[in-house]
Amino acid sequence: MIFQVVASCAQNNVTSEILSEIRSEGRADPLPDPASVYIAAVPMSLPNTPAPQSENVKVRVIDKKFIFTMAALGGAESLRFTTHKLVLDHEFAAGAPWVTRVPSTQHLVVKYAAIYAAELLVAYELKKPHSWLPRDKVIKKLWLIYPTTMIPIDIKNGIRSIRTQPPSCPVEQCQEP
């Protein structure tokens, strides 16, 4: 847009200069030949744009690393949840006295989904830049600590549940002292 304004101003200036020269020479033709008029586009210096401030810089919070890490955490937690639920089902079916009832799957899914959503939100908020927070660059790196710590713990708990062995004695005999 600025270039168009400059070009039209330059064209008007060049045209008026040519017309004034023609009049001063006493030519009969007051209109110049359009092919002989050259439009000079004078580059206009624009004011320096201010450097972007840290709050105006767009930072990608949800990147490949974030998605991969949180997906791995979700997978590890679902492994832990599924295997614990299966162990409880089998122990309850075997008549284990320490399992009085098995919670419903829907209740557990809602509970663990809420916990995972909270973990996801905390990781997102930690990774997001905050202009009001001192040492924000250091704090932004802390989002990775919780997921990378919990992934192996959840996987170990899930594998431990998979390897659960039935009691060495039948449930009836284990209750008697």
pLDDT value of position 116: 95
- For residues 34 and 169, give the distance between their C-alpha atoms in angstroms, rounded to a whole number: 108
Share of the chain above pLDDT 90, in %: 35
Q: Confidence band (pLDDT; 50, 70, 90) for 7? A: very low
Phi and psi at residue 135, in whole multiples of 5°?
55, 45
pLDDT value of position 2: 46
| Residue 86 in domain | yes
Same domain for 71 and 30, yes or no, is no
- For residues 168 and 173, give the distance between their C-alpha atoms in angstroms, rounded to a whole number: 10
Number of domains in the chain: 2
| Residue 107 in domain | yes
Kindly tell me the burial class for residue 96, based on how many C-beta atoms sit within 10 Å of its own C-beta (0-12, 13-18, 19 or more).
middle
pLDDT value of position 140: 85
| Residue 23 in domain | yes
Same domain for 74 and 155, yes or no, is yes
| Residue 151 in domain | yes
Q: Is the pLDDT of residue 82 over 90?
A: yes
Same domain for 13 and 77, yes or no, is no
Same domain for 106 and 143, yes or no, is yes
Q: Is the pLDDT of residue 113 over 70?
A: yes
Same domain for 73 and 154, yes or no, is yes
Same domain for 32 and 68, yes or no, is no
Same domain for 77 and 158, yes or no, is yes
Model confidence pLDDT, tens digit, residues 125-163? 988 888 887 877 888 888 999 999 999 999 999 999 999
| Residue 175 in domain | no
| Residue 31 in domain | yes
| Residue 154 in domain | yes
- Could you tell me which residue, 22 or 160, shows the higher pLDDT? 160
Span between the terminal Cα atoms of the chain, in Å: 93
Kindly tell me the burial class for residue 113, based on how many C-beta atoms sit within 10 Å of its own C-beta (0-12, 13-18, 19 or more).
middle
The stretch 69-86 carries a mean pLDDT of 95
**pTM value > 0.75:** no
> Ranked by mean pLDDT, which of 5-9, 10-14, 15-19, 139-143 comes out on top?
139-143
| Residue 157 in domain | yes
- For residues 7 and 10, give the distance between their C-alpha atoms in angstroms, rounded to a whole number: 5
- Could you tell me which residue, 166 or 147, shows the higher pLDDT? 147
Structural domain range at position 102: 64-165
